[in-house]
Structure 1
Amino acid sequence: MEKQQQLLTAAYHLFKTKGFKATSIAEIAAAAQVAVGTFYNFYDSKAAIFLQIYTAENERVKANIIAAVDLDADPLPLVRQVVHEIMVQSQDNLILQEWFDNPKLNALIAQTAPSAVETSLVYTTFVRLLDRWQARGLLAPGMTQARGLSLFNAVVVVDFHQSEITTTDYAQVLDDLITGMLAVILK
């Protein structure tokens, strides 16, 4: 496990400073002080190690954002703030930026992580928010947690396919979808 951790640490730093495309397996192995063959003992490709790093980095950043917000704040500004912070922090993070800039990696992440949505921090936070909003009487009549989660899942599906949406302002499109979703969920 020590060599695998060395590879992960080296790959993390290289992906964070150079990005996915500019980083080679040989550079990762050299930075980890292991042979290239050792890399292949743990990962079958550069994309495989990147996916592991991307998933951890994505959850780390989202945890920091969720920890910094007041989950009892007014719902629309709260959700907008969280989404805005995710976009801003992704902008300056070469690992997370691959989601927006690299359609092949975007598709690979979406393909390998569909069940990861339910275990993600944002998803579990949204479940908690629905419970809080229901307890505070903020949900629209007839709105159930299952329906709210279905609406949230629809936004996630759109985000997974954001590379297919022809727009120069994806952040605004996402904000519009979230605003519309909350207009249906909340009174």
Structure 2
Amino acid sequence: MVTQAVENGESHEGAGNDMSGLRDQQKKKRREAILAVSARLFGKQGYAATSMEEIAAAAELSVGTLYNYFKSKGDITLALYRADLEMVRKASEAVILEPSVDPVKAIIKLMEADLNTTPDYLDGNAWQELLVAAFTSPSSSMAVEWEGGDLMRVDLFGRLLGALQERGHIGKQADIRSAAEVLGALSLTYFMHWLVNLKAGRIDQDSCPIAGPTKRMLTRQVKQLVAGLV
């Protein structure tokens, strides 16, 4: 009888864990659906013109349910940015852990991992609206987070340069921090250049920030920078 009770208890506990896991998966899928819908609406009609009610309707949710996930459009914007940042960090880790022996190639690869990696639902139009929202939203936390080092990936460039320095691929006396800041600013410049070209219709939505002539120009610039680090 005791054994049977234990077995029944384990069975109930296992079923409870399965149900909890299923609920977590459902919440994750619903959250991702909200982000995808929000990005589409922001890109199509603008951040300011999009209401929480419209987002809820497009996601086939009640407004109350939407507010259970996000308290404001600002919270949604931060979540979109953080989703992109998480993907970038995962792609960047592989580059940093096993960098090319050629510093130029390693730096270019990290920039590609940054600028060419983004969730499918974040196209150029959505990114433009997210940038606008970051610096016009009443939420001060948005501007603080977007203006921080993460926006320019200075920490990632610093880690890569540190790894290259440890392996003897750049000079021991090289100013890693300053070089990382310059690379971060350069990376952000290419990102903004991509957005401007999208807005002007010179490139299409499927284009990557780092590709073709853009990559050749970036390689030339990075070579010049690396020459000062060896």
Whether TM-score is above 0.5 comes out as yes
Q: Tell whether 2:131 aligns with 1:106.
A: yes
Equivalent position of 1:143 in the other structure: 174
TM normalised by structure 1 equals 0.64
- Alignment RMSD (CA, Å): 4.2
Taking the aligned partners of 2:95 and 2:115, their CA distance within structure 1 comes to: 15
Taking the aligned partners of 1:59 and 1:77, their CA distance within structure 2 comes to: 23
Task: Identify the match of residue 10 of structure 1 among 10, 28, 33.
Answer: 33
**8 A Cα contact 2:77 2:130, kept in partner:** no
**8 A Cα contact 1:10 1:31, kept in partner:** no
Equivalent position of 1:125 in the other structure: 156
Equivalent position of 2:43 in the other structure: 21
**8 A Cα contact 1:127 1:149, kept in partner:** yes
Tell which deviates more after alignment, 59-68 or 71-80: 59-68
Higher radius of gyration, 1 or 2: 2
Task: Identify the match of residue 83 of structure 2 among 56, 74, 85.
Answer: 56
Quickly say closer, same or farther: Cα 1:180–1:93, change in 2 above 3 A.
farther
Taking the aligned partners of 1:59 and 1:101, their CA distance within structure 2 comes to: 18
Q: Which amino acid is the alignment partner of residue 182 of structure 1?
A: V
What is the CA deviation profile of residues 161-186 of structure 1, one whole-angstrom value per residue up to 9, with x for unaligned ones? 4446899586315555444433333x
Q: CA deviation at 1:85?
A: 4.2
What is the CA deviation profile of residues 130-156 of structure 1, one whole-angstrom value per residue up to 9, with x for unaligned ones? 222222333357522232233234325
Task: Identify the match of residue 94 of structure 1 among 121, 130, 134.
Answer: 121
Q: CA deviation at 1:63?
A: 0.7
**8 A Cα contact 1:130 1:145, kept in partner:** yes
Quickly say closer, same or farther: Cα 1:8–1:50, change in 2 above 3 A.
farther
What is the CA deviation profile of residues 6-28 of structure 1, one whole-angstrom value per residue up to 9, with x for unaligned ones? 75232134357x46435964464
5+ residue gaps, structure 1 = none
What is the CA deviation profile of residues 106-144 of structure 1, one whole-angstrom value per residue up to 9, with x for unaligned ones? 3444744122518x8x54332222222222333357522
Q: Which amino acid is the alignment partner of residue 184 of structure 1?
A: G
What is the CA deviation profile of residues 44-67 of structure 1, one whole-angstrom value per residue up to 9, with x for unaligned ones? 22x531331232233224413532
Q: Which amino acid is the alignment partner of residue 21 of structure 1?
A: G
What is the CA deviation profile of residues 67-91 of structure 1, one whole-angstrom value per residue up to 9, with x for unaligned ones? 267225322112222323444444x
TM normalised by structure 2 equals 0.55
